[in-house]
Amino acid sequence: MALESCIKENNKNRKLNHQLCRHQCRPLPILVLVLVLTFSSWFAFFSPRSYDHNSFTNTSLMSKNNKFIPPIPNTQTHHHYNSSSSSSSQSGPYHDWQLFAADFEEMMRNFKIYVYPHVYSNNNNTSSEEAFAGIFLPHPNPLNPKIGNYLSEHMFKLSLLRSSLITTIPQQAHSYFLPFSINAMRNDRRIRSEAAIAEFVAQYTRRISSQFPFWNASAGADHFYVCCHSVGRDAASKHADLHKNAVQVTCSSSYFQKLYVSHKDVSLPQVWPRPLHVPLNPPHARDRLVYFSGRIQNSNVRQELIALWGNDTSMDVFDKSPYPYEEGFRRSKYCLHVKGYEVNTARVSDAIHYGCIPVILSNYYDLPFANVLDWTKFSVIINTGEIPFLKKRLLSITRQMYLTMYRNLCQVRRHFVWHKTPRGYDSFYMTAYQLWLRTSVNRLSY
């Protein structure tokens, strides 16, 4: 019964319902402890409360913002701090919902992001700017299926421009967005190659730092850019401060990525264009154990997976799925997210979207929003060296544990959705929250 309501709640995009997780959600004790310790010190360290926000409070924005903030659910359970583990077991898929929600609320009231003017179509400056305007303008149709891996990059920009966090007064901003699009550069005959993209980005950054005082004031530490395709991973390589100081918001959040700096940079969920509202298939209607479909070239991990489990009749593991991709996600309990050329693939957000528990076979991947979401509560994380034990591991998960994960998964779905005009705790505001945590930057005055 609780399960049906979970599905309904989520289909209607309603507020969180923490009642759903009454059961002891069985965490992986050591991992959770480490994560909780890491992230609580992380919160404490980065908590940007020292800011004096009063100087730029805009009441019309505030009341508008308050609309975005759903009530904090079920505060009662959080008062039972009589054992160290009780609070974490009560918080569903979150490390600490209350801490997060309070900080998020503060972000909604105070956080201001400035976008450099090249992003506005009425920018009417020099002819060279006009010539490259397409690199900076928001994409006219980011939901076009051909956008593929670039979707999150475009949706971030579009959402930001329509969000309440925008300020047109740069002196008020905590963060500065460099609005170039890797996708647009890739499609521009004058740029195209990865080397030329890096050169263009370096020149642009130098231009920003000479035309505006903000870059030099922090050596770029309060600036950020967004990319969600392997093509963009070297974009900062020709500008030292851009890759050392600025925040890279990226889907390729791998510790093995040369220019990725964990904790400075932000992991962005990779989402592919897809229908927004699909009814969730409930657990009892999921008759297959595991689903995976994906190209196996360029990936030893996928090759090993197919070699070991490709013939197993209880595992639907394919390099070419005999039935539609979406159907695999709908009818299976577990959906594999297997490292391809990169650690990230859109399969994790697809799994979440279709209500299939993600099984993550992708080492050294900074999972999106991992300082807020306790991934162990709604996904299964398996070392890529343990593919031989995959089936055993999944079969060892009891029905009760699976149902708890399914409920938690219902709760996190809204964090993996983009809206053209952002709302609630969607991918845009969750990503903005990560930037908000990084705003305690020392600046020179300008």
Residue ranges binding ligand NAG (CB under 6 A): 58, 60-61, 80, 82, 86, 122, 124-125, 209-211, 213, 216, 307, 311
Minimum distance of ligand NAG from residue 340's CB (angstroms): 21
Residue whose entry in the numeric block shows the structure tokens 């390729």 = 252
Edge-to-edge strand list for the sheet holding 223-227: 166-167, 113-115, 175-177, 223-227, 247-250, 266-267
- Burial class from Cβ neighbours inside 10 Å (0-12, 13-18, 19+) for residue 419 reads middle
Nearest distance from C-beta of residue 208 to ligand NAG, angstroms: 9
> How far is the C-alpha of 96 from the C-alpha of 100, rounded, in Å?
6
**Least Cβ distance, residue 125 to ligand NAG (angstroms):** 4
CA dihedral (141, 152, 337, 413) in degrees, to 10, reads -90
In angstroms, what is the minimal distance from the CB of 63 to ligand NAG? 10
Which C-beta is closer to ligand NAG: that of 216 or that of 281? Answer: 216
| Cα separations in angstroms, 387 against 188, 308, 344 | 41, 8, 18
223: β partners: 176
Distance CA 268, CA 266 (A): 6
Sheet containing 332-338: give its strands across.
Answer: 315-318, 288-293, 332-338, 357-361, 380-381
Considering the complex, state which of residue 183 and residue 384 has its C-beta at the smaller distance from ligand NAG. Answer: 384
Please identify, using beta-carbon distances, which residue of 58 and 281 lies nearer to ligand NAG.
Answer: 58
Residue nearer to ligand NAG on the CB measure, 40 or 172: 172
CA distance 170 to 186: 29
Of residues 192 and 443, the one with the C-beta less far from ligand NAG: 443
Cβ proximity of 347 and 334 under 8 Å = no
Among residues 110, 6, 19, 15, the alpha carbon closest in space to that of 69 is found at 15
Q: How far is the CB of 267 from ligand NAG (least distance, A)?
A: 30
Closer residue to ligand NAG, CB minimum distance, 181 or 218: 218
Nearest distance from residue 209's CB to ligand NAG, in Å? Answer: 5
CB closer to ligand NAG out of 381 and 441: 441
Closest CB to ligand NAG among 50 and 122? 122
In angstroms, what CA-CA distances link 172 with 70, 398, 407? 26, 52, 41
Beta carbons of 174 and 113 less than 8 angstroms apart: yes
Nearest-approach distance from CB 146 to ligand NAG, in angstroms: 29
Among residues 122 and 297, whose Cβ is nearest to ligand NAG? 122
Place of tokens 């004096």: 52
| Beta carbon of residue 61, minimum distance to ligand NAG (angstroms, whole number) | 5
**Residue with smaller CB distance to ligand NAG, 317 or 367:** 317
State the nearest-atom distance from the C-beta of 124 to ligand NAG, in Å.
3
* Residue whose beta carbon is closest to ligand NAG: 124
- Residue 64 Cβ, how far from ligand NAG at the closest point, in Å? 9
